[in-house]
Amino acid sequence: MFDEEVLNDLKDLLEEDFSQLINAYVRDLKLKVPKMIESLETGDIAEVQSLSHSLKGASKNIGVRKFSESCSAIEQLAKQSEVDELKNLIPLAQQQALELSDKLSELYLS
């Protein structure tokens, strides 16, 4: 799900600011993934692309590779306006985001 080595390195580097980073990331997941779904439903594919790009980068930076890869795939599909494929992939990414936010919160915010 995520690279614990990367997260532990960040924790050592950021010390007390680490929990703020994780909190901000979890908050972004909870805001941006539903916004991505809403944007898809309203046909705003450019917004889907923008949100997936943002989540891809943030995820990669903290070692959340699998979700970053999902966001990358969503971004590419949005660039190609592959709406049917997006309708299949975004709900899977939503499930990943829920599991990820729960796990990160449990491990690093409790």
Note the pLDDT of residue 65. Answer: 94
Q: Over the chain, what is the mean pLDDT?
A: 95
Q: Which residues contact 12 (CB under 8 A, 6 or more apart)?
A: none
pLDDT at 4 over 90: no
Rounded CA gap, 86 and 67, in Å? 15
What tokens were used for 27?
């908050």
For the stretch 23-49, pLDDT in tens is 999 999 999 999 999 999 999 999 999
Note the pLDDT of residue 108. Answer: 87
CA-wise closest residue to 92 among 64, 71, 65: 71
Query: Between helices 83-108 and 18-42, what is the axis angle to 10°?
Result: 160
- Single pTM value for the model: 0.92
Rounded CA gap, 73 and 78, in Å? 9
Query: Predicted confidence band at 21 (pLDDT cuts at 50, 70, 90)?
Result: very high
Q: Which domains does the chain have, with CATH numbers?
A: 4-108 (1.20.120.160)
CA-wise closest residue to 104 among 53, 67, 50, 74: 67
pLDDT at 110 over 90: no
